[in-house]
């Protein structure tokens, strides 16, 4: 595991960045909007857990530190993209304020055990999102904006790479299936509801301003069925008491993406 920090140029980035699946692009835009608040939260929770990890599972410390570095890089690059997105969709600002308040509240009001379960839940979803993006939708990404597509390819490849860290830390400090599942369910609902609202908001703006005559509800429904077929069995696996991300093998597209971002500074072209 290592932290890579490629340079991205979002000056020409288009927030309607997956023409073949515009609603999915906006769902990921919703995720991008929350990441500069969620990922610093992950880092703070991990830092709070670190002294106890040093006592009970010191073998995890090295990975924990790389995890924090990767997450810190991710949210900084998403912030740069979000500035472009907010420039075109300024009415997203209240969503940003809302999600910032949520994570401030979690840190202030919830115990470490709860926050670590939330983090583990997020990371479990990240593995699935990574496999979907890097393995299952190449056809949709063929015509995607190269810079935004590269941002997610880099981010989700590293999410897969550090898939075990939050799971192992939670298990070392606060083991238990029910506790882990409560974190996963809360996190999934919290983030899905937020990204769905952002997606609907941005799609409404598109309909009003950009695509008056080109809406394709049939293609959107088809994409949703395809995404559900991919996600549901994987989510069911997370619900199992014996679930562990250690069992997920890194696929070739993820390996290729990690190798690419290790050697390429400026990422303007497709991976
Ligand atoms: Fe991340
Ligand atoms: Fe992560």
Q: What's the gap in Å between 70 CA and the centre of ligand 1? A: 7
Q: What's the gap in Å between 70 CA and the centre of ligand 2? A: 8
Identify the nearest ligand to the CA of 167 by its number.
Answer: 2
Residue 210 predicted with pLDDT over 90:
no
pLDDT at 214 (0 to 100):
57
Q: What's the gap in Å between 109 CA and the centre of ligand 1? A: 23
Identify the nearest ligand to the CA of 165 by its number.
Answer: 2
Q: What's the gap in Å between 64 CA and the centre of ligand 1? A: 13
pLDDT tens, position by position, 98-119? 999 999 999 999 999 999 999 9
C-alpha dihedral (52, 53, 57, 61), degrees to nearest 10: -150
Residue 270 predicted with pLDDT over 60:
no
pLDDT tens, position by position, 125-168? 999 999 999 999 999 999 999 999 999 999 999 999 999 999 99
pLDDT at 82 (0 to 100):
98
- CA dist., res. 167 & res. 196, Å (int): 26
| Phi and psi angles of residue 10, each rounded to the nearest 5 degrees, phi first | -100, 15
Question: Measured in Å, how far apart are the chain's first and last C-alpha atoms?
Answer: 20
- CA dist., res. 109 & res. 88, Å (int): 34
Residue 268 predicted with pLDDT over 50:
no
Cα angle at 119 between 59 and 15, to 5 degrees? 125
What percent of the chain is predicted at pLDDT more than 70? 94
Confidence band, pLDDT 50/70/90 cuts, at residue 265? low
pLDDT tens, position by position, 9-31? 999 999 999 999 999 999 999 99
- pTM here is 0.94
Q: Which residues surround ligand 1, an ion (CB under 5 A)?
A: 71, 74
- CA dist., res. 268 & res. 6, Å (int): 10
Q: What's the gap in Å between 229 CA and the centre of ligand 2? A: 23
Residue 207 predicted with pLDDT over 90:
no
Identify the nearest ligand to the CA of 155 by its number.
Answer: 1
Tokens 């840190």 locate to: 107
Across the chain, mean pLDDT equals 94
Residue 216 predicted with pLDDT over 80:
no
What percent of the chain is predicted at pLDDT more than 90? 90
Confidence band, pLDDT 50/70/90 cuts, at residue 221? confident
């Amino acid at each position: 595991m290592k932290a890579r920090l490629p340079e991205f140029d979002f000056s020409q980035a288009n927030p309607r960045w997956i023409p073949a699946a515009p609603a999915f692009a906006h769902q990921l835009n919703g995720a991008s909007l929350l990441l500069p608040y969620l990922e610093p939260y992950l880092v703070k929770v991990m830092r709070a857990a670190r002294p106890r990890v040093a006592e009970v599972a010191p073998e995890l410390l090295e990975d924990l530190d790389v995890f924090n570095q990767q997450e810190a890089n991710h949210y900084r690059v998403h912030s740069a993209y979000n500035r472009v997105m907010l420039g075109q969709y300024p009415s997203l600002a209240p969503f940003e304020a809302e999600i910032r308040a949520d994570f401030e509240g979690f840190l202030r009001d919830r115990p470490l055990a709860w926050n670590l379960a939330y983090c583990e839940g997020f990371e479990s979803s990240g593995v699935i999102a990574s496999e979907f993006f890097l393995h299952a939708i190449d056809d949709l990404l063929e015509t995607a904006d190269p810079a935004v597509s590269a941002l997610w390819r880099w981010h989700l490849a590293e999410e897969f790479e550090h898939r075990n860290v939050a799971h192992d830390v939670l298990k070392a400090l606060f083991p238990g299936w029910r506790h882990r599942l409560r974190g996963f369910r809360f996190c999934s609902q919290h983030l899905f509801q937020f990204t769905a609202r952002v997606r609907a908001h941005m799609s409404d703006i598109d309909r009003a301003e950009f695509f008056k005559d080109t809406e394709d509800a049939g293609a959107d429904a088809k994409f949703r069925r395809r995404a559900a077929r991919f996600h549901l069995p994987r989510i069911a696996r997370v619900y199992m008491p014996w679930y562990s991300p250690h069992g997920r093998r890194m696929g070739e597209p993820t390996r290729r993406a990690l190798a690419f971002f290790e050697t390429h500074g400026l990422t303007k072209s497709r991976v």
